[in-house]
Amino acid sequence: MKKSQSIIKTNKISKTASDVIAPIAAIAVIFGIWFFLSGTDVMPSYMMPSPLDVIKAFAADHKVLWEHGLTTLGEAMMGLGIGIAFSFLTAMLMDACKPVYSALYPLIIVTQTIPSIAIAPLLMLWMGYGILPKIVLVAITTFFPVCVSLLEGFKAADEDTLNLLRIMGAGKTKRFWYVKFPYSLGYFFSGLKISVTYAVVGAVISEWMGGQSGLGVYMTRVRKSFAYDKMFAIIIYIAVISLLLILITNIIKWLAMPWERKNIK
């Protein structure tokens, strides 16, 4: 018994080690290729600055990046909150009424064929260059992954459990709250992981069209001045923000789904 437990423990440790080492190795390879390209004639240094130049640019502009990052993050979070709220309302309505599902689902799919960069100028034209069109674009961008994930989660609810509650006299509200909603949480967080990254990207794209502050605005400025080391620093900063939001999403999932903690471990 002790031998089998030690084997299991060893396997877990080796799996954890591989999970940590593999991404670090991949990042090291990417940085190695980056170093090689930036130090040769393959790519001019002004077009592909070395990682050291990017780190120096980040260190020099960290205060400016922080201020612009707060603006972008604020827009992303407000738009994400609105997108999640509309996703829940739409998914619940579509799940409760089949004609509504048949009418709205094709339209929701069609909206995903329109790129965000094409919507942004129209929103700026209709709503001006303030924060409102940026929030709306983020809400539109983040709506689809959460809504579709919730619909899949509602469909995945155990039919036997739903029938049992129906026989016991439970109404639609109770069946939804005690069965469908818990079943949909895993699907919801899977869609939310996608939406949090879309939120930051959507905010940056909207800022390209105009504004006073934000990472997209600052990115446009450094691009026009051909400061590509700062451009790379902004890109890495956006990636870090997205990764932190995904980490926060995983933490919220861990707290909201205690029955899944054994699987997460």
User: Lowest-pLDDT range, 2-6, 86-90, 231-235?
Assistant: 2-6
Kindly tell me if the per-residue pLDDT of 165 is higher than 60: yes
Average pLDDT, the chain: 83
Check whether 150 has a pLDDT greater than 60: yes
Closest to 263 in 3D by CA, of 178, 148, 195, 185: 185
Top pLDDT among 73 and 16 is at: 73
Q: For residue 58, what is the enclosing H or E element?
A: helix 51-60
Cβ atoms of 204 and 215 closer than 8 Å: yes
The Cβ of residue 169 has, within 10 Å, a number of other Cβ atoms equal to 7
pLDDT at 260 over 80: no
Whether the pLDDT of residue 255 is over 50: the answer is yes
- The per-residue pLDDT for range 212-240, each reduced to its tens digit, is 888 999 998 888 888 888 888 999 999 99
Distance from C-alpha of 217 to C-alpha of 197, rounded to nearest angstrom: 18
Is the pLDDT at 143 greater than 80? The verdict is yes
Closest by Cα among 140, 244, 262, 252 to 188: 252
Higher local confidence (pLDDT), 86 or 19: 86
Q: Check: CB of residue 78 under 8 Å from CB of residue 135.
A: yes
- pLDDT value at residue 121: 84
DSSP label at residue 265: -
The mean pLDDT of 200-210, rounded to a whole number, is: 89
Q: Give the contacts of 189 (CB within 8 A, at least 6 positions apart).
A: 249, 250, 252, 253, 256, 257
Q: Are 126 and 133 in contact (CB under 8 A)?
A: yes
pLDDT at site 14: 57
| Range with the poorest average pLDDT among 1-15, 36-50, 98-112 | 1-15
> Does pLDDT of 245 surpass 50?
yes
pLDDT at residue 40, rounded to an integer: 66
pLDDT for the residue numbered 264: 47
